[in-house]
Amino acid sequence: MRRTVSIFLASALLAVAVPLASAQTNSKKPQVDNGQFQPDPVKHREVISQAGVRIAAKSDGLIRVTRAQLDAAGFNTSSNSANWQLFREGVELPIIVGPNGDYIEFLGKALDVVESDTRTYYLTVGTQAGKRITATAVQPTKGKGGSLSSAYQQTTVRKERFFYANQILNGPRDNFFGTPIAGEGNFYDFDLTGVDRSRGDRTLTVVLQGFSLVSHSVQLKLNGNVLAPVTGVGREVMTKTYTIPVDYLLEGLNSLEMSAPAAGDITLFDHILVGFPRKFIAEGDRLDFATERNKGAQLSGFSSDKVRIFDVTSETAVTEIVGASVAETGGTFGPVVPAGDIRSMYATEASNIAAPISVTPNNPEFLGVPNQSANLVIIAHPSLMGAAQAWRNYRATQGVAAKLVDVTDIFDEFSYGISSSDAIEAFLSYAKNNWEVPPSYVLLIGDASYDPRDYLGYGNWNMVPTRMSNTRFEETGSDEALADFNDDGLAEIPIGRIAARTPDAVMTALSKTSTWEQGLGTSPLDRGALFAYDQLDGYDFQAMSQRIMAKLPAGMEKVTVQRGIPDNASAQSAVISALNSGKYVANYSGHGHAGAWWGPPFFDRAQIQYLTNANSPTLITSLTCLNAYFVSPSAAEESFAERLMAAPNGGAVAMWASTGKTTPDVQEVMALRFYEQLGLGNIPRLGDLIRDAKGQLNAGSDVRLSWTLLGDPMLKVR
């Protein structure tokens, strides 16, 4: 693929490139109803209440799960295999059970939603025979049927996903896009196979996303053929559908050239849909296709004569067609599909079978039931459950009723097994409004990411999803939104997160929490405070700090450090020295970004290694932008707050800061209230202090949503 990006785009767009193999998403579907069913939530609850296994899979087509995989996940393979039943979204799907229960096979269906590309299937041992994929033998053609179709109508979807644009405020839609279109020389190249050039017109739909805040006019050429421009204004979605002549599409490589000649006109490629008659030629040893009424089809392009054919018109009544004659053409093979009704079909070379992503035990625990009680709910990723259990045990020794929840159980019960921030919100809302003793605090244990589909190739670190929310300036992560049930930007339950990827990182945060609380004593303010602040730059940060400091008791020691006074190195050393002395609380007021206080380092990630206050960690607030931006998928781009929390030799016991850009005037309103109440000591736990401070904002839901606590909301501050 050719790609030219104007150099000025780097400052206008948060974007990362990845290898093209993982950047482009393609799918092909015949224009026939694919027999999709409606989920059955009542049956789903019954299914997940039974012991069995979860099968996670990403692909369309035939999926095989072996007996060894089922055994390893604890499935009872000694049970009567005739009663094995497979469900998705509460609906039973037919399967093939191999001889002696050596494997099961089923037809998977790919998922393409913003937060996930992985579906979950549930295999149980039922009390009656399960649905099976039945075999239908080919019958000799009789009567007036028997003619062959030359092609079927297909719509091919081509997507590109390698630029993350957080400035586009598009609600729940995806913020990943493809090729930036600015000036000349922007190309999107795509392959098509089986193009039937004997038929007439076909369609092309182009979907673009406006980026710059101007009027857009994107000039298009498809394989050198000029198309009418796609136009729009600002950051709107721009869509145009063309009817194109047969010669405009090519077998093999096709190229869509896109240009935006006007100065400042920047648009992002999203996807195209190409509708065309396609021959029955396999691609990658598989073929999704449709048949016409009373017409069969001669398939070709398979690497062997071992081809399996399935009628998938209805997902709940799949049949396998056996006994079809196979012809060899030009070194490839293909069976003849007999004539019948209008059908959706799937054919695959017999060895072309996908494996599941994972097979794991389903140990059911219902959360959406009222007879539950907990002061603290801890939601953890499965890989962190041991460390999360240690956290629960620590709170239990203090008499706290703490409930530990595997986030997978939330997905099972509230989103049919699909990873989803909506599922977490639905669970918390249910618990708040229905449990006998509703939770007063929520602690999330596990990292989150703005790239849950791993388009950028860093791995899927969306362990406990956050809500990617629109604020005034950008889309950003908001744990607050997960517990905000009335959409006023303020969580109804104080919530915090340990944004960790490993058990060791969780245990480090727990050790700091325990050390802090054991060392509170009767006069924790005697440890003093650090107030660091920026120079005058659009706001008087020194005066801001002085107003906040005044809210603490007059007799409390307060160390102040101003950036660049007398120089940056000296100011930096003063910050490190103050933190290492074990200050109770520290605050920074000024400009900053995800990795630092201020731009050229005043205090940043690189200096955290010099902190040695593990025996007296500090509660840190940061009145700046992005310091708590915990949603980056790259470990190298961990936020300042994450690094301060994870530092094993010192740093922060908790940090309250923003995941987005907010203005100091609104920040100050919250901070004045926070430090006033901290000084008075009337609110003993951190999460309640934060909720009280955010409650002072009649407006400013941006600040309410983006300001995040990295730490335990139950942390005792008195």
Please give the C-alpha separations between residue 372 and each of 36, 433, 434, 437, 562, in angstroms, as whole numbers.
36, 11, 9, 7, 50
Extract the tokens encoding 275.
Answer: 């509708």
In 3D, which of 449, 548, 457, 515 has the Cα closest to residue 175? 449
Q: Where are the alpha helices (DSSP H) in 553-659?
A: 568-580, 640-646
Task: State the average pLDDT for the chain.
Answer: 92
Answer whether the bond into residue 370 is a cis peptide, omega within 30°: no
Q: Is the pLDDT of residue 369 over 50?
A: yes
Extract the tokens encoding 477.
Answer: 């992560």
Q: Is the pLDDT of residue 12 over 60?
A: no
Q: What pLDDT sits at residue 191?
A: 96
* 154-188 confidence digits (pLDDT tens): 999 999 999 999 999 999 999 999 999 999 999 99
Q: What pLDDT sits at residue 4?
A: 31
Strands 134-137 and 319-322, how do they pair? parallel
Contact present, 372 and 413 (Cβ < 8 Å): no
- Distance in angstroms (rounded) separating the CA atoms of residues 367 and 378: 13
Among the residue ranges 63-67, 76-80, 486-490, 527-531, the one predicted with the least confidence is 486-490
Contact present, 474 and 433 (Cβ < 8 Å): no
Question: For 354, which DSSP code?
Answer: B
Of 349 and 11, which is predicted with more confidence? 349
Three-state secondary structure of 135-170:
EEECCCCCCCCCEEECCEEEEEEEEECCEECCCCCC
Q: Which residues contact 606 (CB under 8 A, 6 or more apart)?
A: none
Which H or E run contains 392?
A: helix 385-396
Q: Is the pLDDT of residue 461 over 60?
A: yes
Q: What pLDDT sits at residue 340?
A: 87
363, amino acid identity: N
Which H or E run contains 308?
A: strand 307-311
Query: Where does the pLDDT of residue 140 fall: very low under 50, low under 70, confident under 90, or very high at 90 and above?
Result: low
Q: Is the pLDDT of residue 670 over 70?
A: yes
Residue burial 424-455, b: 16+ Cβ < 10 Å; e: rest: bbbbbbbbbeebeebbbbbbbbbbbbbbbbbb
* 203-229 confidence digits (pLDDT tens): 999 999 999 999 999 999 999 999 999
Over range 377-381, report the average pLDDT: 98
Please state, as a whole number, how many other Cβ atoms lie within 10 Å of the Cβ of residue 81.
17
Which H or E run contains 228?
A: strand 225-233
* DSSP line for 418-479: ---HHHHHHHHHHHHHHSSB--SEEEEES---S-TT-TTSS----SSPPEEEE-SS-EEEES
Max CA distance (Å), the chain: 101
Which CATH architecture group holds 7-30+151-278? Sandwich (2.60)
Contact present, 478 and 692 (Cβ < 8 Å): no
Contact present, 395 and 401 (Cβ < 8 Å): no
- Distance in angstroms (rounded) separating the CA atoms of residues 309 and 323: 10
User: What is the domain partition of the chain in residue ranges?
Assistant: 7-30+151-278, 41-134+355-359, 365-475, 498-710
- Distance in angstroms (rounded) separating the CA atoms of residues 96 and 99: 10
* 423-457 confidence digits (pLDDT tens): 999 999 999 999 999 999 999 999 999 999 999 99
Radius of gyration of the chain (CA): 29
Q: What pLDDT sits at residue 242?
A: 98
Q: What pLDDT sits at residue 146?
A: 63
Pick the CATH number of 498-710 from 3.40.50.1460, 3.40.190.10, 3.40.50.800, 3.40.630.90: 3.40.50.1460
Q: What pLDDT sits at residue 201?
A: 81
Three-class SS state of 580: helix
Which H or E run contains 23?
A: helix 20-23
| Domain pair 7-30+151-278 / 498-710, same fold | no
Query: Where does the pLDDT of residue 363 fall: very low under 50, low under 70, confident under 90, or very high at 90 and above?
Result: confident
Contact present, 501 and 463 (Cβ < 8 Å): yes
Three-state secondary structure of 648-663:
CCCCEEEEEEECCCCC
In 3D, which of 530, 603, 616, 593 has the Cα closest to residue 572? 603
Find out if CATH 3.40.50.12590 is the number for domain 365-475: yes
Q: Which residues contact 226 (CB under 8 A, 6 or more apart)?
A: 219, 220
Q: What pLDDT sits at residue 374?
A: 97
Three-class SS state of 173: coil
Single pTM value for the model: 0.93
Which runs of E-coded beta strand occur in 175-224? 176-177, 180-181, 183-192, 202-210, 215-222
* 548-605 confidence digits (pLDDT tens): 999 999 999 999 999 999 998 999 999 999 999 999 999 999 999 999 999 777 899 9
83, amino acid identity: N
What percentage of the chain has pLDDT greater than the value 70? 94
